[in-house]
Structure 1
């Protein structure tokens, strides 16, 4: 008769140590392997083992999930911060899985995951389906958090100091009027800093509406109008109007909020506008705008202009007419003049003088091969205007005057500039313009004559009677070319500038 060995488990005692551990003493006897006693023993041992406890397992799993979430969130925040710093859009036209370009945010996050194994392990398909952190709403929440933190740093930097406000209004891509508010103050290191406080959507651009928007934005950040010590706006009437302008409304609440119109902006608006009051100078800028529209408005003509200019530069280098050097002879293009872009008119004049010959060649091609008659006629008139002595003279006259004013404009745009230095620079500028009026005629006339000779423009005998193309010969006064160009143009335009600067 065969005997089947069995293991019998008998519980003898249970002890609890000082550390809280449970110790159970058993007496093991032979029993079947799958007996109830054996199963009870296994379950008891599993229950006593704390590392296999359900709560321990859940805690371990939760801790790992928290670590994965932290890695994933930090990667998303890094991508968002980089896009915000570069001012780039987040979304793409097609963010589907099959898209070859899912937009800046997703492509940057994929690039980061591709070069970081830790990020790749917890991102995209390796992340939980509802916890990938790539939703548009999550992006907006993180952007708002970044904006809030940035604003808090600005307010901490400002502290209890006084400040000035700089305002401007413009439309965004969604055609909404936005009021931008910039704070200008002195930080703890004694440096003058400018910080963008934020944007405020305005439904109206009246002075009262802008004032309400400004006060709402300031109060939202705990700032008071009483701490304002300066105002800076553009030259529009709703901003600097003496009766109902925004500056006047602010001054009524705070007499210390002095208004200062940007000197450089004022130069651009005032001096160029005053110069255009002279009919010949207005005609010059009118022709300049037409040239930019005709030549710069077409990619084909623009490319032709670059090719011709490059060929002229190569030829000039071979003939040693111009010098080589680092930063010299760079590719240039026509600059469109703008009434609100400081120095744009001066840049337009320089670019036209530099590419004068190439522009004539491109316009000649339009005259010959233009797509329609109106285009060819317009190009023909522009060639005729450009190849006149009067156009060349006005071109160099305004280049010389605006060159002096541009130096002042650049100096006034320095952040460390103050009113005292600005007035000194203004005095220097007036002396330079006065010196040009007193002693600059011969130099300008020689420069114009050399330019005309280089580009085959007919020069004039200054002792002959002046014959104006746009003036009725029957009613025109009989004056010499010298009197017209020196007195009616050179002296008059300079006097207008000096009168405006002295005012």
Structure 2
């Protein structure tokens, strides 16, 4: 619009412009006004025997439409140029539009050009006036409506983003089972957005039924798009904060509910203040769990986030061979590309695997856990059975309080239930064993009810089998043995899973757990046997004579070794299980990874460099007196 020629003699016809641009061109000329160079020295022309020229006073008489072209020394009509229809010679034909009017002798033609009220000139003037009335112009109406739609859309979008941010921060599901308009609960997102609209008149005026059908911003696709945008912005901030700093990664893979292998990746780095920051950066789908596939997924994620594997200084995985294998595992493949990416095994996971190894490798312990899991499944199969269990246990507690076997007081004898162990959290088995020992009598009563009144024959058979297994000395002994072992490692397990982990404290707890297990092996047999014997007498379980021959249930007597009960329970179970636990702890928590972590633990950020914490070094010397002098910091 800034390049439109102002001289009417140099203008192209209005029809030469695109139909989409003509009104914009017309409006620009009308806002600029007619071209009237009043200070111009108008040239003279000979008409007959007189010199004549354009009179600038004519601008005053016809100020709204008369124009003068300096280049062609001719007069023009701005309104007719903009809107004159093609009507031949009427009202001066094309003289005031195309060629221009320059016959200064016949100046009455200016008035005749105006014509009557319905002349072509006056029709063009009316169209000019209508065009200048912006509020009545169709384009103005369209623009006003478009602006209003844009404002309404932004209100809806901001409300949707606010609701989605709330759900994301709280980790709450979005979708509902029934999201139809007649549903009483349409899901967290729609219900939260409705609540927002009900308490905000501005949002209520443009949301749900007041919104156009195609921009309600309530569909699952829109929700997913906003969530994806939020994830990208969050990742962008995380990567910006990492910058050029060195970092480490924690990787684990698992199968989701759709039976797809997913790999979760977490990065750890130190910020400018010396704080260790841990951030989850994504879940990557992997076609297989081979080390090569996992490495390709890691590289793909790094490439998308703009991270370099050359900045990697640590890697942590679980104990699977495809993750930490010495030759072909993910650890080894990354070390080939970056030898500085040191591998450190997760301490909490190491402890879990140590407990799993004992449970799987010892037949009697494996049988005890098998029976325990089935007891939890049978007793907790219905709410009715759980209510019976709580009622039976409450009655036993009241009876024990009356006879003085239990002490009463604030916080004591709280209502409890049989805890279900987690398959991937072996630390949860400790709570299961404790609750089973506490509620043993009530559990036996419930199993008796199932055996007599169970709805199906297989449940009755299972209850009968469990009763026979639980009411044996071997089950009671292994139950109390593993309860004692897990009690020792429970504190260590909780310490290793703390978010604000103190590495020095964790390693000291590892050593303390080893010492307590060793002390239990050396001094704990008699006390354990007395506890088990008392438990058996209370629950009418036969305690075998430790000096008689041991007869294993379900095994032939001819091939069975001739041993006494004391040897079986003390050597084959008590000593063997504790030795296995000690061996696993020593194997899992090897000196290499421990010393590496200890060195890192003693580093204290100080301005732009790291120094060693003297107090931590002193604490380490207490647990490693023989190795401490060999360390050179």
Q: Say yes or no: TM over 0.5.
A: yes
Deviation at 1:80, TM superposition (A): 1.3
Q: Please, which of 487, 503, 510 is the counterpart of residue 426 of structure 1?
A: 510
Q: Please, which of 329, 332, 354 is the counterpart of residue 270 of structure 1?
A: 354
**Secondary structure, in 3 states, of the residue corresponding to 1:341?**
coil
Q: Please, which of 572, 577, 585 is the counterpart of residue 501 of structure 1?
A: 585
Cα gap change, 1:310 to 1:118, in 2 (>3 Å):
farther
1:119 & 1:328 partners in 2: Cα distance?
53
1:44-443 superposed matches below 5 A: 63-316=147-400, 321-326=406-411, 329-338=414-423, 340-417=424-501, 420-443=504-527
Shifted more, 128-137 versus 61-70: the winner is: 61-70
Instruction: Work out whether 1:454 is the aligned partner of 2:524.
Output: no
Cα gap change, 1:71 to 1:391, in 2 (>3 Å):
same
Deviation at 1:250, TM superposition (A): 0.6
1:301 & 1:63 partners in 2: Cα distance?
65
User: Are the aligned partners of 1:265 and 1:342 in contact in 2 as well (CA < 8 Å)?
Assistant: no
**Secondary structure, in 3 states, of the residue corresponding to 2:248?**
strand
1:14 & 1:51 partners in 2: Cα distance?
25
Cα gap change, 1:129 to 1:277, in 2 (>3 Å):
closer
Question: So what's the TM-score if we normalise by structure 1?
Answer: 0.83
Stretches of structure 1 that go unaligned for 5 or more consecutive residues are 1-10, 16-34, 37-41
Q: Which fold has the larger relative contact order, with Cα–Cα distance below 8 Å and residues 6 or more apart in sequence?
A: 1
User: Are the aligned partners of 1:264 and 1:342 in contact in 2 as well (CA < 8 Å)?
Assistant: no
Cα gap change, 1:442 to 1:205, in 2 (>3 Å):
same
Question: So what's the TM-score if we normalise by structure 2?
Answer: 0.67
CA RMSD of superposed structures (Å): 3.2
Cα gap change, 1:107 to 1:438, in 2 (>3 Å):
same
Number of aligned positions between the proteins: 470
Show the counterpart of 1:488. 572
Deviation at 1:139, TM superposition (A): 1.6
1:267 & 1:413 partners in 2: Cα distance?
11
1:279 & 1:139 partners in 2: Cα distance?
52
Stretches of structure 2 that go unaligned for 5 or more consecutive residues are 1-59, 65-116, 119-125, 588-633
1:465 & 1:135 partners in 2: Cα distance?
73
What are the superposed Cα offsets for residues 477-502 of structure 1, whole Å, 9 maximum, x if unpaired? 44443333223322222122222223
Rg comparison, structure with higher value: 2
2:481 & 2:397 partners in 1: Cα distance?
25
User: Are the aligned partners of 1:192 and 1:416 in contact in 2 as well (CA < 8 Å)?
Assistant: no
Deviation at 1:407, TM superposition (A): 1.6
1:275 & 1:422 partners in 2: Cα distance?
23
1:56 & 1:144 partners in 2: Cα distance?
37
2:250 & 2:548 partners in 1: Cα distance?
55
2:455 & 2:359 partners in 1: Cα distance?
36
Cα gap change, 1:278 to 1:54, in 2 (>3 Å):
closer
User: Are the aligned partners of 1:335 and 1:351 in contact in 2 as well (CA < 8 Å)?
Assistant: no
**Secondary structure, in 3 states, of the residue corresponding to 1:414?**
coil
Deviation at 1:133, TM superposition (A): 1.7
Cα gap change, 1:115 to 1:313, in 2 (>3 Å):
farther
2:401 & 2:139 partners in 1: Cα distance?
82
What are the superposed Cα offsets for residues 224-264 of structure 1, whole Å, 9 maximum, x if unpaired? 11111111112222112222111111111011111222122
